[in-house]
Structures are given as C-alpha cells and as structure tokens.
C-alpha cells in the first residue's frame, strides 16, 4: 500500500465517519462534483472491476495499471457510508486491509460484493 494511502485510510478509519465532499482539496473534484471523498484512497484498489468505470491501462514500461479515474461508485455518498458502516461493524483497521492486499483478498472481495449487490455501479 502506498504510504499516502496508508495515512489517509488510517485517519478515515480512526475518525469512523464519512467526509463528504472535500472542496478544500487541491485535486477536488478528481472524479465528479459532489463526490464523497471519504475513500480518496480506495481500500479495494485495484478492484479490477470495469463495472465501476475503471479500466486496465498499459503503462509506458508495458505493465498493466488499474486506472480508476472514471470510477464514480466508491465516491457515491451512500456507498461510502455503507462501507464505513461495514468496516466499523467488523472492526477493520488499516493493518487488516494491508494484510488482505498481501496475502489474499477474500475479506475485501466479500465486502466489495456486498456493496455491489446493495449499490450496483452506474457509469456516468
């Protein structure tokens, strides 16, 4: 996990509340006006699910990189709030997300699928 992502997720998970739109951010809006910025660094990255609007892109070195710039799903307020609720209910911390990234993604995939069922991704 990128150090900036780790610090952001640590702050978000310790606060245990959604942020809403952060218009003071120099990158706002990075996805769309009115976006919820709670999951600025997505805990599912890279989800690899093109239903969210993301796609695999070829980098200059030939490797594949997940481009989520067209993902609007995790930034919908209802999705951000429900994800926070699930993380709170399960007591998930940054270390749990990092462990899931390193070892296996089953915990993250399960939560991702719950959210997709409750809030199907819609492309803009």
Residues in the chain: 124
124: confidence class by pLDDT, cuts 50, 70, 90: low
Residues 6+ apart with CB under 8 A from 90: none
Residues 6+ apart with CB under 8 A from 9: 1, 41, 43, 94, 97
Q: How many CB atoms lie within 10 A of CB 89?
A: 8
Place of tokens 């926070």: 84
Average pLDDT over residues 11-35: 85
**Whether the model pTM is above 0.85:** yes
Alpha-helix runs per DSSP H in 1-105 = 3-15, 77-90, 94-102
């Amino acid at each position: 996990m990128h150090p900036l992502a780790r610090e952001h997720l640590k702050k978000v998970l310790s606060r245990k509340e959604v942020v809403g739109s952060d218009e003071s951010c120099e990158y706002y809006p990075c996805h769309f006006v009115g976006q919820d910025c709670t999951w600025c660094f997505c805990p599912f990255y890279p989800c690899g699910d093109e239903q969210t609007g993301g796609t695999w892109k070829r980098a200059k070195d030939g490797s594949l990189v997940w481009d989520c710039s067209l993902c609007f799903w995790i930034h919908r307020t209802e999705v951000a709030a429900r994800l926070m609720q699930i993380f709170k209910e399960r007591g998930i911390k940054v270390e749990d997300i990092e462990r899931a990234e390193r070892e296996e993604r089953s915990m993250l995939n399960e939560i991702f699928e719950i959210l997709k069922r409750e809030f199907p991704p819609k492309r803009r």
